[in-house]
Amino acid sequence: MKALEAEGKIPDAPVETAKTGRTAAGGKVRPKRLTKEEFASLGTPPTGFAWTLTGRPVVELTPKGALKCFECGDEMTLRTGRFGPFYSCNNRKCKAVANLRGEAKKTADEAAGETRSKPIETDMPCPDCGKKMLLRMGRTGRFLGCSGYPACKKTMEPPAGLLREVAETAGV
Ligand SMILES: [Zn+2]
Ligand SMILES: [Zn+2]
Distance from residue 95's CA to the centre of ligand 2 (Å):
34
Q: Which of 74, 94, 116 is the last residue of a domain?
A: 116
Distance from residue 14's CA to the centre of ligand 2 (Å):
28
Domain span at residue 11? 2-116
Residue 59 pairs in a beta bridge with: 100
- Of the chain, the end-to-end C-alpha distance in Å amounts to 26
The whole-angstrom separation of Cα 22 and Cα 136 is: 30
Q: Check residues 36 and 161 and name the one with the higher pLDDT.
A: 36
pTM over 0.85: no
pLDDT at 28: 58
pLDDT in tens, 16-70: 444 444 444 445 566 788 999 998 899 999 999 999 999 999 999 999 899 999 9
Q: Which ligand is nearest to the CA of 149?
A: 2
At 153, is the pLDDT very low, low, confident or very high (cuts 50, 70, 90)?
very high
Query: Is residue 80 domain-shared with residue 163, that is, in the same domain?
Result: no
Q: Which of 101, 116, 131 is the last residue of a domain?
A: 116
Distance from residue 92's CA to the centre of ligand 1 (Å):
8
Query: Is residue 9 domain-shared with residue 68, that is, in the same domain?
Result: yes
